Amino acid sequence: MSAQLYPLRTGVSPVQLPARVDAVIDQALADQRLVGAVVLVAQDGELIHRRAAGSADREAARAMTEDALFRLASVSKPIVSAAAMVLVAQGRLELDEGIEGWLPDFQPRLPGGAAARITPRQLLSHTSGLGYRFFEADDSGPYALAGVSDGMDQSGITLVENLRRLGNVPLLYAPGTSWGYSLATDVLGAVIERVCDQSLDKAVQALVTGPLGMNDTAFVARDVDRLAAAYVNDTPAPRRMRALDVVSAFDGAVGIRYAPARAFDANAFPSGGAGMVGSAGDFLRLLEMLRKGGSPLLPPALVEEMGRDQTGGMTLPNAPGFGFGLGFSVLQDPVAAASPESPGTWRWGGAYGHSWFVDSARGFSVVAFTNTLYEGMSGCFVADLRDAVYGADTMKRGA
């Protein structure tokens, strides 16, 4: 078990154990929308609910456990983003400097061929002009033709090679002029490697996961017996993910290329945006560190900057009311988002089936890791769990 650098108290009274959360989990399992899940709900630094439910491996009849490991997909992004912010706090990286000084061989260009300048802030906020291969309509798109990896397949290439391929594709827009979810965090990972003069896995461990006692979190599964199997939503029940699988998350997109065995492959390049493995408890440590102001890794001012909308008021696609900070989305308008969350709430997820949010105004940090895509990332379960948490909060605080 990881050292309790940020202890979370248990043994609270039954009124603080929201039966609504359990009901949401049980319904998702009964409906066969999820195979298994680990849900942690903390408020004001107190772990008020914890639940491991369903199966970690259905075919092997292995029950889900609270210390299960999961392929994190985009839950990797806030971890790597925090590592970059630690470098900013240490004065080793500037948010608004051009990354060309660190990555001279990565030379992105605009559609017309003009050179483009990208900054760490734009990488962190996904305003860099980069994209993702899985957004393309088919395998004739420019990222597919260039052989770009989204970081969840087993391409057999290095991070340097993936950036070379990425750099050969024109940017989608001039940096800073629009917002688009992208491989920016993978590029940020390469910047971190150059600043630290070491591989990304070692740099992230030195900057974030080591100091926080996130001993389960790395770019490869450290205990394969605890790794949850991956499942894909299907009818009448989720199917086990294939060794090589392409699953579309959006209408009109070719889909994400998955290779679940990548989690065992120590030679796979470290994808800062999608390549980590970890536990729900570890990730809660990161969220609680940020919620409490950043100590001992970051000053409060940099945590505040991470939680400030960096898009200039742009509306995120299919996410009304949300802007984007430095590593995660930021709720700007709860009414537009039809959400009970407070303004300023941080939120994101991961394609393997995860969601999380931090509502600092209410003191909430919530982690929901599942082994079922895409229900656990963007299905009804996500909104149902959110609403259950806030229903419990209403009862607890008399709001």
Contact partners, residue 73, CB within 8 Å, separation at least 6: 152, 274, 350, 351, 352, 354
Answer whether 25's CB lies under 8 Å from 379's CB: no
Catalytic residue, chosen from 2, 13, 74, 342, is 74
For residue 296, cis peptide bond before it (omega within 30 degrees of 0)? yes
Q: Which position has the token pair 């248990």?
A: 10
Bridge-based pairing of strands 70-71 and 277-278 is antiparallel
Distance CA 332, CA 347 (A): 12
Rounded to an integer, what distance in angstroms lies between the CA atom of residue 207 and that of residue 91?
13
271 is known as an active-site residue: no
Determine how many CB atoms are found less than 10 A away from the CB of residue 324. 23
Q: Give the CA count within 13 Å in the CB-facing half-sphere of 367.
A: 24
**Taking a C-beta distance cutoff of 8 angstroms, is the pair 385, 38 a contact?**
no
Which are the catalytic amino acids?
A: 74
